[in-house]
Structure 1
Amino acid sequence: MKTPVRRKRLSPKERARVDELFERFSTLSETPKTELNFSNPFTLVVAVALSAQATDVGVNKATAKLFPVADNPADMAALGVEGLIPYINSIGLFRNKAKNVIALSEIILNRHGGQVPLNRADLEALPGVGRKTASVVLNELDIEPAIAVDTHVFRVSHRLKLSSGKTPDKVEQDLMAIVPEPYLTRAHHWLILHGRYVCAARKPKCLECQVSDLCPSRELFVGG
């Protein structure tokens, strides 16, 4: 079952600002995708689960060696925790992640016939797969529009005054309520990439930003 989306009514001025914001993002990158490397739903789930508190670059380096050996639940489960660790020990929290990846592989084999369950409830029931990971998977595979709120999305959403939510879940709710529907499946990537490469935490590149004139926080970093 898809998560119901409650739309929020904005003032005409704010509606126009938000529409223009995402229209510009679309001109910068029409079809944004995750920077994690994957070849099927299973490797996507694993890559996203490994990416918690780790960089996409670091995860891709690890999975470049792992996925040629185990790109399906059966081969991954056969590695076992100790067999998996050498492939991912360069990633933070690798021991706990190894336990989760092996456990979720076994569950997919035993409960889902070896196929990744592509619905939110079953995904979130997998070890190491919370709401954010499920959202990334469902959105990336065009199954359900979702906005996974990581540190980049959280920061950018506040600076652009798209949300004042204190938690990732509240920010997600706010974004899903105001992002123009045609852009819902891509907003997650645009906000992540914007936060990663332009609206950085310490030194945002406001003078290079394509949406700076639409940003209420611009004056905090570059003056009036």
Structure 2
Amino acid sequence: MPSPPRRPPRASGCETPADAGLIASRLAELYTVARTELDHRDAVELLVATMLSAQTTDVRVNQVTPELFSRWPGPAALAGAEEEAVTAVVRPLGMGATRARRIIGLARGLMERHGGEVPDDQAALEALPGVGRKTAHVVRGAWFGHSLLAVDTHVGRLARRLGWTERTDPRQVEEDVLARVEADAAPGGAADGTADGADVEDLTLLGLRLILHGRRVCTARAPRCAECALADLCPQVGVA
């Protein structure tokens, strides 16, 4: 007999974790159009913009990338750019010199290893300078169309509040959410035993919609639970 899907650890204080399939369906109704809010025209621009978005906002990244991509269009131009010039462009994001070194190093890696093309391969992407698991998931999900969960601060926060995980490490949060999705998709698999096998069709879209909801409603400091369309499904773990 096959073993049942592994359940993630129950978050502290959470009696009934929210059913993943129902949450995904409700979010799909709320955010019919879900895509990354980073402006880009190709995979290279998305990869660079995603790297720049670390520890800042998409809005701020979108303010600097038009000049960045117009002055150095494509990885060949960026690979040969002067670090000081790139630093001046990305300085408004903070850590300008560090960000400049990282994206120039990325461009050089793309040129040397992949002929200037962004590879549709997880290991190859993570082997590039400055590219981690989340960044690779963003690009492979948003550009190449794979079903992959990219765990940022919003996804992690909502996953904990929904009772899907109690952990904070992004890789561990991803593991717990995927386990919850798998368990809740099984007939009768929800924590309350009432699920009908509803599935999460696309992890990329689930992640994008969690991000949108985290930015607009389920914010870090002042979640608007009284206005939240997920309130009847959410155990609100850790929310005062």
TM-score, normalised to structure 2's length? 0.82
**Which deviates more from structure 2 when the two are superposed, residues 36-45 or residues 59-68?**
59-68
Q: 1:209 aligns with which of 211, 223, 228?
A: 228
Q: 1:188 aligns with which of 199, 204, 207?
A: 207
Distance 2:238 2:102 in 1: 44
Q: 1:36 aligns with which of 35, 38, 50?
A: 38
**Counterpart of 2:51?**
49
* Residue 31 (structure 1) shift: 3.3
Is the 1:44–1:137 Cα contact (8 Å) retained in structure 2?
yes
| Matched residue type, 2:65 | T
Is the 1:124–1:134 Cα contact (8 Å) retained in structure 2?
yes
Distance 1:96 1:103 in 2: 11
Q: 1:118 aligns with which of 117, 120, 132?
A: 120
Change (3 A) 1:219 1:146: closer
Is the 1:42–1:71 Cα contact (8 Å) retained in structure 2?
no
**Counterpart of 2:173?**
171
**Counterpart of 1:200?**
219
Distance 1:205 1:122 in 2: 40
Change (3 A) 1:155 1:9: closer
Higher relative contact order (CA 8 A, sep 6+): 2
Distance 1:7 1:138 in 2: 26
Relative to total residues, which structure has the larger helix share, 1 or 2? 1
* Residue 76 (structure 1) shift: 1.0
| Matched residue type, 1:173 | E
Change (3 A) 1:96 1:125: same
Is residue 107 of structure 2 the alignment partner of residue 105 of structure 1?
A: yes
Change (3 A) 1:169 1:16: closer
Distance 1:31 1:60 in 2: 19
* Residue 38 (structure 1) shift: 0.6
Change (3 A) 1:219 1:97: closer
Structure 1: runs of 5+ lacking an equivalent: 1-5
Structure 2: runs of 5+ lacking an equivalent: 9-15, 182-198
**Counterpart of 2:189?**
none
**Which deviates more from structure 2 when the two are superposed, residues 100-109 or residues 69-78?**
69-78
Distance 2:180 2:169 in 1: 17
* Residue 220 (structure 1) shift: 4.3
| Matched residue type, 2:59 | V
Distance 2:238 2:86 in 1: 48
Query: Cα deviations across residues 9-58 of structure 1 (Å, max 9, x unaligned)?
Result: 69xxx798322111010111123001110110000000000000011111
Q: 2:69 aligns with which of 58, 63, 67?
A: 67
Distance 1:218 1:161 in 2: 6
Identity percentage over the alignment?
A: 40
Distance 1:21 1:53 in 2: 27
Change (3 A) 1:82 1:40: same
Give the number of aligned pairs.
214
